[in-house]
Structure 1
Amino acid sequence: MADWGPVLIATLLFVLLTPGLLFQLPGQGRVVGFTNFQTSGLSILVHTIIYFALITIFLIAIGVHIYTG
């Protein structure tokens, strides 16, 4: 049996938290920018911290597991 939980959670969070794809914190001239496809170094740092916090919560604290086979 393979545990696909960490792979699916990491992929989903990576796609959703890509700066500039759905939203960007901080935005260009605003606090939040939506679908502008632009990014900055500060935005990458903020999204990295959010990604790390969420993946830690889902994989270590909650322990999401999806088994196949």
Structure 2
Amino acid sequence: MKDWAAPLIGAALFAFLSPGLIFQLPGKHRPVDFLNMKTSIPSMLLHTVIYGLLLILFFVILDVHLYA
């Protein structure tokens, strides 16, 4: 059996945490912008930190596995 948790969770977080897709922290004109499809360097850096912290949460702390 192969553990599919890492590629599925990693790909889903990467897609949903892309700056500007669902939300953008920090926004251009507000602290949080929603669905604006624009990005900036500070926003990319903050989303990278959030992505890394969520990966650590799922794989190190919660030890999530999905076998198929």
Common topology (TM > 0.5):
yes
The answer for unaligned runs of 5 or more in structure 1 is none
| Cα shift at 1:54 | 0.4
How many angstroms apart in 2 are the aligned matches of 1:26 and 1:41? 10
How many angstroms apart in 2 are the aligned matches of 1:39 and 1:28? 8
How many angstroms apart in 2 are the aligned matches of 1:28 and 1:35? 12
> How many residues get paired?
68
Query: Paired residue for 2:51?
Result: 51
For residues 9-50 of structure 1, what are the alpha-carbon distances to aligned partners after superposition, in whole Å with 9 as ceiling and x for unaligned? Answer: 101111110000000000011000001110000000000000
Query: Paired residue for 1:31?
Result: 31
Q: State the one-letter code of the partner of 2:3.
A: D
Whose strand proportion is higher, 1 or 2?
1
How many angstroms apart in 2 are the aligned matches of 1:12 and 1:63? 17
Q: Secondary structure in 1 aligned to 2:6?
A: helix
% identity of equivalent residues = 49
Q: Secondary structure in 2 aligned to 1:56?
A: helix
What TM-score do you get using the length of structure 1 for normalisation?
0.95
